[in-house]
Amino acid sequence: MVVVSAADCGAGIDLRGALSALHGAGPDLEPTFATELEWCVAPEGCDAPCFHITDSSRSRRNGMNWIKWYKRVATGVVCALVLTMVLACTPAAPAAPDGAAGGGEAASGASLSAAESAARAIPRDRTLILVRGQTTIADFEQMNPYALGGLGRVRDTLNKTIYEFLFYYNHNDGEIMPWLATGYEYNDDFTEITVSLREGVEWSDGTPFTATDIEYTLETVRDNPTLVFSSQMQEWLKDVEVVDELTVRILLNKPNPRWVFQFLAENSEINLAILPKHIWEDKDPETFNNYDLAQNWPVGTGPFRLVRATEQQHVFDRRDDWWAAKTGFAELPQVERLIRIAGGDAAGIARLFAQSEVDFGGALQKGDFEAARERNPDLVSWNKEGPTWGTADACTYILGLNNAIPPFDNRDVRWAINHALDRQKLVTLAYENSTEPMVLPLSSFGGVLRYQDQVQDIIDKYQPDNPDLNKVNELMTGAGYTKDSEGYWIDADGQRIVLTITTRGGTRPLGPTVAQQLVEAGFDAIARHDETGQTVTGIQNGSELIWIDPHCGASQEPYPTFSHFTSRFSAPIGEPTKYRWANTRYENPEYDAILEQMEAMQPSPDDPQYIELFRQAVDIWLRDMPEVVIAEERHVWTYNARCWTGWPSADDPYIAPYDLWGAFLLAILKLEPTGAC
């Protein structure tokens, strides 16, 4: 083994990139070259991380042991690397400062400074490693959860370490779990919400967490237009009243029986981190970066504190003075240190999982997961077996159609497109059967299925999952289209229907397969992939005619997604639509009226009135087919069970598996070391 650190750096170097390059790329490096890297905390003053590197291959380069070769390379590249040969199998660790323990309760107490805590030696079996897909961490000292990019920062690490939420939600069974709060109550017309807070909650600096912190946070977000979620707060939030230290009343501008779930409980797309008023009230919330390790900022209520931040890693150490442990509400996590690293591209991240160098950090493509699992059988996902490794995430893959532009302003053409598609073949070819075909814009979360089961007869009436070229011909001919000499559909003026199907991100595999099926149905279609962001802009301003994208929304009940087809989200061509997932520009007053009634009601699958409205909405939606739902979006969210056990799964569905969502803190609290590391 070699211990590689980056002490006394004058200029930072990307050790992750350098080592990744060594992992099988050199022309003279044997393909069997295999090493194990273990992350530790880089010394203060150096932006590069350090690694413990174990040679498990005895690979040689031009007859030279690779470690000796790496020393030569590193000497010429790294400003000052300390290379120490260690024969033992247990990685060496940085020496703890005088008076600091090498782990355990005393070492992680609040008495240590951030630098002292970061310098401690935490063993691998108490360290949790999170990887994300960048080469560096942008704005690594920016910890403001509401400034530009704030939602990304919260979902990246802050909602698992620094910030907790009033409630958490289990998407699998529909349970809302009180956390910083103990409960909530609406008034009769859903314009007021009284929230009761848990006694004994403290900020990380020991200051009590009270209703004034909630009042300050909600009103600050509302009153500062550049902050994340400001527009939503401006729409909904009328006032916040502090009843007492543990009771807050939220007054809304209009009725909303879903407000608590949407803004305080689900914590997936919306994460409202409560801010400590005593820290923030004299700061400019739009420019304050919320970072000062000497003052132990950021201050939160969560079980970890930030002790180090560089372009290569964020390091969070456990707080033994966490309020939940002090009050007996929850036990301290067995994770003593969480390190977030930049892992490079998808191939690099797959390699890190295969080599057991990271514990969690998002999804792998099915093929990458299965290949990595061949090398590391400790890798797990939601399901024990494939091909469907993943589970629902409240999104579906859809073929988006611009209903305001010919030919898709004609519902017969939209239905013809639907009948041109064989969903099962698309799922097989594009995603290797790792997901399931879908026909409604609803996820398969348990709570949502209780509604979908009650409209199955309407689905059967319309039979949307029915690829049939004869129906395509019948619908297109009835709409006034004919075929030219090459067999493509043309309009009455002889103009051919030309479809450029844009994809982005994880929808890329669907593009060519959808285009091919449309060509076979007589449409002149091609696929174009875009990662520049222009596709999203075009979808929202109406310049895109047809696209493939996720459509996200309903994770508890159907209203959120079905509301995206109301005309209030529409916009004239050239103007942006009013919500990211509401882009069809479909307009139907009858549909609007039904959804308006649903909006004012407390949703329940046991309410006959609500279900009847939902059935009416589904009937109109299927009749008009404003977009074509293809399949459910299911990610192979990947965990490494070599060092840690207790990850969420189909066998233990205590939360949804997505580590970007707020409830994933509950997974970190549940993890136990396996003893294998």
pLDDT of residue 667: 98
pLDDT digits over 615-635, tens only?
A: 999 999 999 999 999 999 999
pLDDT exceeds 70 at position 20: no
- Cα of first residue to Cα of last residue in the chain, in angstroms, is 15
pLDDT exceeds 80 at position 43: no
Under DSSP, the state recorded for 295 is: G
CB 547 within 8 A of CB 404: no
Distance, CA of 632 to CA of 392 (rounded, Å): 7
Of 572-586, 624-638, 653-667, minimum mean pLDDT range:
572-586
Distance, CA of 249 to CA of 128 (rounded, Å): 38
Instruction: Quote the tokens at residue 616.
Output: 């009416």
pLDDT of residue 1: 31
- At residue 160, the 3 state secondary structure works out as helix
CB 401 within 8 A of CB 410: no
Percent of the chain with pLDDT over 90: 80
Distances (CA, A) of 43 to 81, 112, 234: 11, 16, 45
Percent of the chain with pLDDT over 70: 84
Give the residue with greater pLDDT, 7 vs 181: 181
pLDDT exceeds 70 at position 50: no
pLDDT exceeds 70 at position 525: yes
pLDDT digits over 404-434, tens only?
A: 999 999 999 999 999 999 999 999 999 999 9
pLDDT digits over 154-194, tens only?
A: 999 999 999 999 999 999 999 999 999 999 999 999 999 99
Instruction: Quote the tokens at residue 375.
Output: 């090398």
pLDDT of residue 659: 97
Q: Considering the chain, what is the average pLDDT of its residues? A: 87
Under DSSP, the state recorded for 29 is: B
Question: The whole model's pTM is what?
Answer: 0.82
**Which residue matches tokens 């994300």?**
132
Mean pLDDT of 590-598: 97
pLDDT of residue 110: 61
The DSSP line for 620-646 is HHHHH-SSEEEEE--BEEEEETTTEE-
Mean pLDDT of 133-157: 95
Q: Compute the C-alpha angle 33/35/38, nearest 5°.
A: 165
Of 23-37, 159-173, 179-193, 258-272, minimum mean pLDDT range:
23-37
**Which residue matches tokens 């020991």?**
206
Range among 87-91, 496-500, 552-556 rated most confident: 496-500
pLDDT digits over 445-475, tens only?
A: 988 999 999 999 999 999 999 999 999 999 9
Distance, CA of 492 to CA of 557 (rounded, Å): 43
Of 78-92, 214-228, 362-376, 631-645, minimum mean pLDDT range:
78-92
CA-CA-CA-CA torsion for 258, 622, 550, 490, nearest 10 degrees?
-150
pLDDT digits over 330-348, tens only?
A: 999 999 999 999 999 999 9
Measuring CA to CA, which residue among 298, 32, 271 is closest to residue 141? 298
The DSSP line for 465-494 is S---HHHHHHHHHHTT-EE-TTS-EE-TTS
With cut-offs at 50, 70 and 90, classify the pLDDT of residue 539. very high
pLDDT of residue 198: 98
With cut-offs at 50, 70 and 90, classify the pLDDT of residue 21. very low
With cut-offs at 50, 70 and 90, classify the pLDDT of residue 533. confident
Instruction: Quote the tokens at residue 489.
Output: 């559909």
Of 49-58, 87-96, 158-167, 504-513, minimum mean pLDDT range:
87-96
